[in-house]
Amino acid sequence: MKLINKFLQLLFSTKLTGVLLLVFAVAMAVATFIENDFGTETSKALVYNAKWFEWVILLMGVNFMGNIAKYNLFSWAKAPTFLYHIGFIIVILGAGITRYRGYEALVTIKEKETVQKALSIDSYLQVAISNKSQKQVYPSKLLMMSKLGTNYINESYHFAHKKLKVKLKEYLPSAEYVLKDSANGFNYLHLVMAEESQRKDFYIKKGERKNLYGVTVAFDTPLKQEGEIFVIQKKGVYYAQFPEVTDYFSMIENKASFYPKDSLVPLKFKALSTIKEIPLVFNEVLENKIKKLEKKEEDRSVKNPESALVLEVSSGKEVKQVTLLGGKGYANPKTTLYINGMHVNLNYGSRPIALPFSLTLKDFVLERYPGSESPSAFYSYLDVIDKNKISSHKIFMNNVLDYGEFRFFQSAYLPDESGTILSVNHDRWGTRITYIGYFLLALGMVCSLLWNIKWIRSLLKIPVL
C-alpha cells in the first residue's frame, strides 16, 4: 500500500508536471528542427507518432486529472486553474482522436471529371495474396520511415495454411532505377505512362511481364496470357498484340491509326495510345543493359522524393528479395512475386480511400497578376453528388468546403492547369473537441485576469489570498 501511495504521489506531483511540460516543449522544438532538415515523415517517425511521445502526453493528461482532485479545484476561487486543467485534458483527448481516427488525403480532379476516391497523405505497406482459388487483401500497415536512426518492418501474413514474412533489409530515402551498359546485359522495353498528369517511366526486362495500373504488358515471354499486351521480336522487328482495338497517334509519322484486336502487328514506337483511360507510349527497346537501384542525392527543391524499400520476403523454405519504389504521395503499380505457391502483390506508398460521395469538377479558374505568369488566385467549382442529391460549391484559398465529416481545402493545381488538387481532412470530432479545449484554455486565461479584480472577487465571494 505504501508503495502504491508513493507512486500516486509522484504521478500527481507538481514536479512531474514540470518535468513532463519541459520534455514536451523540448520534443516539440527538436521535432521542428528535424522537420526542417529531414522532412515531415522523419519528424513523425522520431517524435510526433513515436510511442514515447504518446506516453508523455498520456502521463500529462493523467497528471492534470489527478491534480484536479488533489488540489480540490472544484470551486469558484480556483475556477481559472480548473479551466486550465480541464482545457488541457480535452485538448489531449481531441489530439488522441485525431491521431487514431482522423486522416488527411489528397483529391486530384480534372475539369469535367468525376471522382469518388482520395489518396492518403501517409504511406503504407499494402499486401495482397492469392492463388488459383482464393484471394485475400490485408489491412494496410502505416509506415513512418526515418532518414535518421534505424527503421523496422517485420510483418507476418497467414494465407491458406501458409505463413508469409516480410522484413526490411534497407531503406533508401531517395532512390531510382538506372540502366547501365553491360556486355552481359539484357534488353528492356521502355514505356512511359501518365498517371494523374505525372510521367512514369517503366522498364520491362525481356522475358518478363508487369501489371502497370491495371494494364499488363509482356515483353517477349515464352507464353502469352489472356488480356495482356504482348510484345515480341521477330527478325529484328518488334510486334505487338493488343487485347482490344487500340487507337494511337504516331509522333514520328504524324498520323493517327489503330491496333486491331488480337492481331500481331508491327509496334509503333513513340506513338501515344490510351489504354484503360491511361496514356501509354512504347518509347524504345534498350539493349545490353543492367538495371540497378541507386541512391539519389537529396534535392531540396523536390518536396517528396521517391524512396525505396528493399524487403526480404520468405515463406516455407523460399526466400526472395524485392524492391518497392514509392513513398508519401506515390501510388505506383503493385509489385508481384510468386513464392511457395502464392502470388504476392506488394505496394509501398499512398493508399486509395473511398469517399461516400462523388465530386465533379465543373470548372477550374486560374487568375494571374497583370503582365505576369505568376498565379494570383485559383478557384474550383465543384458538384457534390451524394445519394442522387447534387450541391454546388466554390473552393478557393480562404473558402473551405465542409461536407459531412470531410473538409476540402484548395491546395494546388495540376501542372498543365487542367484540374485541381484538394487537401482532405477527415477529423470532425477530433477537431471540434480540440477547439473546445482551446476555448477553455482561453477562458481560463481571461478568468485568471478577472479574478484579480476586487469587485468581481467580492461578487463571487472569493477570499483574498
Is 325 part of a structural domain of the chain?
yes
- 75 and 114 together in one domain: no
Report CA 101 to chain centroid distance, whole Å: 15
Beta bridge partners of 284: 190
- 170 and 305 together in one domain: yes
Domain count, the chain: 4
Best mean pLDDT range from 2-11, 179-188, 370-379: 179-188
Give 189: exposed, middle or buried? Use CB within 10 Å, 0-12, 13-18, 19+: buried
Identify residue 4 by its one-letter amino acid code.
I
The per-residue pLDDT for range 320-350, each reduced to its tens digit, is 999 999 988 888 888 889 999 999 999 999 9
What's the chain's Rg over C-alpha atoms? 29
The per-residue pLDDT for range 269-328, each reduced to its tens digit, is 999 998 888 889 999 999 999 988 888 887 776 677 889 999 999 999 999 999 999 988
pLDDT reported for residue 460: 64
Give 259: exposed, middle or buried? Use CB within 10 Å, 0-12, 13-18, 19+: buried
Q: Find out whether 267 and 239 touch, Cβ atoms under 8 Å.
A: yes
- 357 and 272 together in one domain: no
Position of cell 504516331? Answer: 250
The per-residue pLDDT for range 238-274, each reduced to its tens digit, is 999 999 999 999 878 888 999 999 999 999 999 999 8
- 386 and 409 together in one domain: yes
- 310 and 345 together in one domain: yes
Question: Last residue of a domain, which of 282, 317, 349?
Answer: 349
Cell of 354: 473511398
Is 81 part of a structural domain of the chain?
yes
Is the pTM of the predicted complex or chain greater than 0.85? no
Beta bridge partners of 349: 124, 327
Is 465 part of a structural domain of the chain?
no
Structural domain boundaries enclosing 128: 122-174+301-349
Q: Find out whether 144 and 285 touch, Cβ atoms under 8 Å.
A: no
- 170 and 208 together in one domain: no
pLDDT reported for residue 463: 63
How far are the Cα atoms of 197, 325, 401, 423 from residue 418, in angstroms, in the given order?
9, 27, 21, 17
Lowest mean pLDDT among 50-64, 185-199, 306-320: 185-199
- Cα–Cα distance between 149 and 154 in angstroms, integer? 17
Residues in CB range of 58: below 8 A, 6 or more apart: 92
Give 173: exposed, middle or buried? Use CB within 10 Å, 0-12, 13-18, 19+: buried
pLDDT reported for residue 236: 87
Cell of 122: 501517409
Cell of 213: 495500373
- 188 and 334 together in one domain: no
For the beta sheet containing 318-326, the strands, ordered from the edge strand earlier in sequence to the opposite edge, are: 154-159, 162-172, 307-315, 318-326
Phi, then psi, of 61 in degrees rounded to 5: -65, -45
Identify residue 244 by its one-letter amino acid code.
E
- 199 and 285 together in one domain: yes
Question: Last residue of a domain, which of 252, 274, 295?
Answer: 295
Lowest mean pLDDT among 81-85, 174-178, 196-200: 196-200
